[in-house]
Copies of this chain bind each other. A is one copy, B any other.
Amino acid sequence: MEIEDVKDTVKQIFTEYLKMNGHRKTPERYAILDTIYSIDGHFDVDMLYSRMKDHENFRVSRATLYNTIILLINAKLVIKHQFSSSSQYEKSYNRDTHHHQICMQCGTVMEFQNEALQSVIENTKLTRFQSSHYSLYIYGICAKCDRKNKRKKKNNNPKKEK
């Protein structure tokens, strides 16, 4: 699906959601949705804020961003993650299911796909629980940091870890 088609579709879904729940269709809300669906990967409120101001030339307050994101999460158009201190978000419509590997040293979050993993998780039966979606975070050390550490270990005193 082309990106513009996706944008049109999510706009329709959002419109439907707003109508269903008695919310107004404000330009801010559509601008935020549009910007989010232009972003690849994860973003936080701060990044969204500056991206809208700089790239889209559309200024909204942070409060409105927070408010709108809640609506988008309820409309199932955005997913919220909390791997770092600030909440991270990502668009969820028409995205491939993916998992996250997080480097404990540099904090980099990388996505990977694995269909076997995905199907096992999705087919897990849970008792007395209606599951809607899931997040799998695998923590470890990325190749970059691993190389960096090995180099350091070789050269310096092998005492301090910090």
Contacts and interface: CB of A to CB of B under 8 A. Distances in A.
Range, interface on chain A:
35 or more
10 nearest A-B pairs in the assembled complex, by CB-CB distance = A128-B143, A131-B140, A82-B82, A134-B138, A132-B140, A130-B141, A120-B120, A135-B137, A130-B140, A136-B136
B117 A121 contact: yes
B117 A129 contact: no
A146 B126 CA distance: 14
Given A120-B120, A160-B22, A138 B131 contact: yes
A146 to B, nearest CB: 6
The number of times this chain is found in the oligomer is 2
B114 A129 contact: no
A133 B126 CA distance: 22
Interface of A: 21-22, 74, 82-83, 101, 103-104, 110, 112, 114, 116-117, 120-121, 124, 126, 128-143, 146, 159-162
A69 to B, nearest CB: 14
Given A117-B121, A129-B140, A132-B139, 6 more contacts: A74-B161, A124-B138, A129-B141, A130-B141, A132-B140, A136-B136
A129 B126 CA distance: 30
B131 A139 contact: yes
A34 to B, nearest CB: 24
